[in-house]
Amino acid sequence: MAENDSQERRGSYIAKVHSNRRIGSGFYKLLLEFTDSGSEAFGGCRPGQFGQLDLSGAALPPSGAIREDLQDSANRGVLLRRPFSFSDVTFKGIETFVEILYSAVGPSTLRMTTVKSGDSMSVIGPLGKGFEIPEGKKMALLVVGGMGAGPLEHLAKVLTEDYPTMQVFAFAGAKTSEALPFERRLDEISSGLGFSLAEFAEFGIESYVATDDGSAGYEGLVTDCFSEWLGKAEVKAEEAIIYCCGPEAMLSKMAEIAAERKIDCQVSMERLMACGIGVCQSCVVECRGEGPGETVYKLCCEDGPVFDSKEVVFGV
C-alpha cells in the first residue's frame, strides 16, 4: 500500500491484545490484532511508521515488580498516548497482526506489561512516514542501536519478501549483552558476521553484534563495528542504502559515515510526541533549509519519524 493510502486510512481503531510476552532480561513483545477497517489501515503500513497507544486504562504492575528507579514516575497519570513503531506487521485480509517490541521505562510502558490476551486498547494510526526503498538499490545495511531494533526487524522482513535480490546485512549494538533486545542466547554470539540474531537470520540476513563492554560480539560501538566492516567490504556507494534506528548520537555518527562514503542513509528520529498528528508542535526536528546555513523545523510525527540523514541537523 502506498504511504498516501495509509495516511488516508489513518484513524482511531480498537485493537485486541493477542499476546504479551517477555523476551530476554527486560524486553517484551506485544502482539495486537486489528480487524475490519483497522486491519486494512495497519495491514499496509510501512516499516518505520507508528501508532499512538492509549494505555491509560491498563493496570500498573504490583509495586514489588517495578524497578526502584521507576517507582516515582510509575504512579504519574497517563494522560497522553505514547508512540510505538512496529517490529512486525502481518496482513491476513480481515485481520492484521502488529507486533511491538518495548521495554518498561515509565508509566505507560509499565502498564503495557500488564495487558493480556483478550484485552483491548485504542490505537491511532498508522502515523508518520516510514523507510523508503529507492529504485536501483542492491544492498541494504541495517544499523540498530538498543531499542531501535523494532522497525528494522519489520524492514528486514519487507526487504527480503519484496526485494528478494537485495543483499541485506544487519548491525546491532547496545551497552551490554543484557541490553540487546533479542531473543537468542547472546552469550553464543561471536565477534564476526554470522547468523547470530534469530530475528534477522529468519530472513537469511547475516548480522554483526557489538556491545560497549564486549559482553557479546564486537567490543565497542556499533558505529565503529560498522565502519570497520565498511572499510573491508565491497560496497558500491550508489547501489547501497543505510537504514538506522537508535539513540540520536548513533544516528548522528551514522549520518557522518554515510556522508563520507556518499551512501544514502535514512534515520528514524525520536521526539516526545503529544498528539502524533501534526497539531501540538511538540516534536520538532531541526533540518537543513534551502539556503546555506538556513535551517527549518520539521515535525517528527508528520514529516518523519524517518528522515534522509542529510536533512537533519543533529543536536549531539
Ligand X SMILES: Cc1cc2nc3c(=O)[nH]c(=O)nc-3n(C[C@H](O)[C@H](O)[C@H](O)COP(=O)(O)OP(=O)(O)OC[C@H]3O[C@@H](n4cnc5c(N)ncnc54)[C@H](O)[C@@H]3O)c2cc1C
276 counts as binding ligand FES under rule CB under 6 A? yes
Q: CA 170, CA 152: separation in Å to the nearest integer? A: 9
280 counts as binding ligand FES under rule CB under 6 A? yes
106 counts as binding ligand X under rule CB under 6 A? yes
Grid cell, residue 151, equals 522497525
252 counts as binding ligand X under rule CB under 6 A? no
Q: CA 127, CA 283: separation in Å to the nearest integer? A: 14
Smaller CB separation from ligand FES, 264 or 303: 303
Look at residue 299 and give the partner it binds from ligand X, ligand FES, none, a contact being a CB closer than 5 to 8 Å depending on partner kind: ligand FES
What does the radius of gyration of the chain's CA atoms come to, in whole angstroms?
19
Note whether 302 and 83 are within 8 A (CB): no
301 counts as binding ligand FES under rule CB under 6 A? yes
Note whether 20 and 30 are within 8 A (CB): yes
- Exactly one of 105, 201, 274, 296 binds ligand X (CB under 6 A); that residue is 105
Encoded one letter per residue, x for contact with ligand X by CB under 6 A and - for no contact, window 77-96 reads -----xxxx-----------
Look at residue 80 and give the partner it binds from ligand X, ligand FES, none, a contact being a CB closer than 5 to 8 Å depending on partner kind: none
Residues 6 or more apart in contact with residue 178 via CB below 8 angstroms: 24, 25, 26, 215
Look at residue 306 and give the partner it binds from ligand FES, ligand X, none, a contact being a CB closer than 5 to 8 Å depending on partner kind: none
Residues 6 or more apart in contact with residue 181 via CB below 8 angstroms: 23, 24, 27, 101, 103, 146, 147, 149, 174
223 counts as binding ligand X under rule CB under 6 A? no
Grid cell, residue 79, equals 494522560
Look at residue 242 and give the partner it binds from ligand FES, ligand X, none, a contact being a CB closer than 5 to 8 Å depending on partner kind: none
Distances (CA, A) of 242 to 155, 228, 237, 268, 308: 12, 15, 10, 11, 10
Grid cell, residue 230, equals 565498511
71 counts as binding ligand FES under rule CB under 6 A? no
- Exactly one of 274, 286, 296, 314 binds ligand FES (CB under 6 A); that residue is 274
In angstroms, give the least distance from the CB of 2 to ligand X: 20
Q: Which of residues 40-79 bind ligand X (CB under 6 A)?
A: 50, 73
- Exactly one of 59, 198, 233, 272 binds ligand X (CB under 6 A); that residue is 272
Whole-angstrom distance between the N-terminal and C-terminal Cα of the chain? Answer: 35
Count residues binding ligand FES (CB under 6 A). Answer: 12
Q: For residue 144, which of 59, 226, 229 has the smallest C-alpha distance?
A: 226
278 counts as binding ligand FES under rule CB under 6 A? yes
Query: Which residue ranges make up the site for ligand X (CB under 6 A)?
Result: 50, 73, 82-85, 100-103, 105-109, 147, 150, 270-273, 305
Query: Which residue ranges make up the site for ligand FES (CB under 6 A)?
Result: 273-276, 278-283, 299, 301
